[in-house]
């Protein structure tokens, strides 16, 4: 499966909300999309293209904006696929993928607590690795490496 | 050499196999020696117990309860240290190896127990994160007094290589009082046994 094949399937369904499909090493391609089209894209990718397994959901902090990416696997094509969207840093929201791939649940919890991406309509957006009430987003670039005592004072009150 | 085993199987000068069921003649040594031995011991115990009670009472009155009874409790306690059977990180592998056949920590009376209600000592073997911190405190509070804590390895001692990480407690002594620190990443089972022996020295000198 080539990027052109992906464009041929996805472009009629998404229209201008599909920002393009580019080659990405080791995968079938990297699909860039507007975040408003997330749910439509997820369903099209799963039902029309056959990517039924979600391997990973992650977030990247690019300082001026943040990126949410999804890595998918197709057992039919034996290929990976990367979906990627940009969200503004002051409003990092995107629709949850857990209604399409249930395995997104914990991955999105992790991306939420570490990078601060908020997944709308997530069934159970709780802390996974850090304690309840932990306010920091440790994988953001603005997170400074704390002195242990300073962090202790902050973490003790969670 | 015809059938030598048949000759050896029968003891020399033994009684004939039939008609030898009189107890007095068959087992004279057992019957005569055992009964007076037991009677003498019983009589001595009857005299000994009140005498010992009186001597012990006067000794306690003279020297104080703590000086007489406390060493007995310390002796019993330090030779039956039951650690909590749990593992946090890779130090738990060394913890488990110490109870295997090669190092055999049970020869020091150290038997891991699965319930904190039955434990004397908590061996914190691994990295303590803030996520697990309140569970560690709960387990510690569930242990009956007297209780001790051993921080095993660099992570439990001071956070180890993860000291400045966002999720790691920089030393378990921030959460519970620690009696013995064991260095190493991870410490070998010998080091863990050495830490237990250090704790036994502490318990030997325990006063109250």
Taking only the tens place, the pLDDT of each residue in B89-146 is: 999 999 999 999 999 999 999 999 999 999 999 999 999 998 888 899 999 999 998 8
Mean predicted confidence (pLDDT) in B43-52: 77
A148: nearest CB among B131, B133, B170: B170
- Residue owning tokens 């080091």: B191
Identify any residues that bridge with B152 across adjacent strands, giving them in sequence order.
Answer: B125, B182
Contact A130 B159 (CB under 8 A): no
**pLDDT band (50, 70, 90) for residue B34:** very low
Model confidence at B46, in pLDDT bands (50, 70, 90)? confident
Beta carbons of B167 and A143 less than 8 Å apart:
no
Residue B143 CB coordination number (10 Å): 22
Average pLDDT over residues B33-61: 70
Those residues of chain A that have pLDDT short of 70 are 147-158
What's residue A142's pLDDT?
87
* pLDDT for B54: 84
CA quadruple B13, B17, B19, B20: dihedral sign: positive
Is B203 exposed, middle or buried (CB count within 10 Å of its CB: 0-12, 13-18, 19+)? Answer: buried
Q: What is the pLDDT of residue B60?
A: 85
What count of Cα atoms within 13 Å lies in the side-chain half-sphere of residue A94? 35
| CATH 3.20.20.70 corresponds to the domain B91-204 | no
Provide the pLDDT for residue B69. 83
Whether B5 has a pLDDT exceeding 70, the answer reads: no
Q: Which chain B residues are Cβ-neighbours of A136 within 8 angstroms?
A: 166
**% of chain B residues with pLDDT over 70:** 79
**CB-based contact A131 B131, cutoff 8 Å:** yes
**Average pLDDT of every residue of chain B:** 81
| B173 or B37, which is more confident | B173
Tell me whether residues A155 and B163 touch, CB distance under 8 A. no
Question: In the predicted model, is pLDDT for residue B40 greater than 90?
Answer: no
More confident residue, B1 or A147: A147
Contacts of B170 in chain A (CB under 8 A): 148-149, 151-152
The per-residue pLDDT for B56 is 84
Q: What are phi and psi of A22, to 5 degrees?
A: -120, 155
User: What is the separation, in whole angstroms, between the first and last Cα of chain B?
Assistant: 76
**Domain A3-156 classification at class level:** alpha beta
Whether residue B170 is preceded by a cis peptide bond, meaning omega within 30 degrees of 0, is: no
Q: In the prediction, which pLDDT does A96 show?
A: 94
Which chain B residues are within 8 Å of A151, Cβ to Cβ? Answer: 164, 166, 170
Integer angstrom CA distances of residue A88 from A35, A37, A136, B109, B121: 10, 16, 19, 61, 52
**Closest of B144, B145, B149 to residue B121, by C-alpha:** B149
For residue A151, the chain B residue with the least C-alpha distance is B166
**Cβ contact, residue pair A130, B166, below 8 Å:** yes
The more confident residue out of A133 and B180 is B180
> Residue B38's pLDDT is what?
47
């Amino acid at each position: 499966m080539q990027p052109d094949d992906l464009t041929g399937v996805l472009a009629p369904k998404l229209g201008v909300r599909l920002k393009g499909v580019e080659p990405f090493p080791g995968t079938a391609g990297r699909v860039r999309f507007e975040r408003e089209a997330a749910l439509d894209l997820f369903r099209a990718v799963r039902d029309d293209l056959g990517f039924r397994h979600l391997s990973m959901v992650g977030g990247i902090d690019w300082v001026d904006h943040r990126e949410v990416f999804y890595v998918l696997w197709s057992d039919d094509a034996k290929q990976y696929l990367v979906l990627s969207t940009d969200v503004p840093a002051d409003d990092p929201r995107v629709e949850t993928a857990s209604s399409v791939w249930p395995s997104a649940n914990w991955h999105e919890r992790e991306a939420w607590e570490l990078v601060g991406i908020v997944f709308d309509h997530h069934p159970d957006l709780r802390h996974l690795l850090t304690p309840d009430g932990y306010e920091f987003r440790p994988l953001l670039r603005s997170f400074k490496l704390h002195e242990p005592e300073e962090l202790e004072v902050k973490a003790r009150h969670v | 050499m015809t059938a030598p085993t048949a000759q050896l199987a029968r003891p020399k000068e033994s009684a004939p196999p039939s008609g030898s069921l009189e107890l007095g003649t068959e087992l004279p040594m057992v019957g005569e020696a055992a009964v007076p031995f037991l009677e003498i011991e019983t009589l001595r115990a009857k005299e000994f117990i009140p005498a010992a009670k009186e001597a012990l009472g006067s000794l306690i009155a003279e020297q104080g309860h703590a000086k007489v009874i406390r060493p007995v409790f310390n002796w019993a306690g330090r030779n039956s240290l039951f650690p909590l059977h749990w593992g946090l990180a890779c130090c738990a592998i060394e913890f488990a190896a110490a109870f295997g056949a090669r190092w055999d920590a049970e020869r020091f009376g150290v038997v891991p127990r699965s319930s904190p209600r039955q434990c004397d000592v908590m061996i914190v073997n691994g990295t303590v994160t803030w996520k697990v911190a309140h569970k560690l405190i709960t387990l510690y509070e569930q242990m009956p007094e007297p209780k001790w804590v051993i921080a095993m390895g660099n992570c439990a001692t001071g956070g180890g290589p993860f000291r400045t990480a966002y999720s790691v407690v920089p030393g378990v002594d921030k959460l519970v009082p620690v009696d013995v620190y064991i260095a190493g990443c991870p410490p070998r089972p010998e080091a863990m046994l050495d830490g237990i022996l250090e704790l036994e020295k502490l318990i030997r000198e325990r006063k109250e």
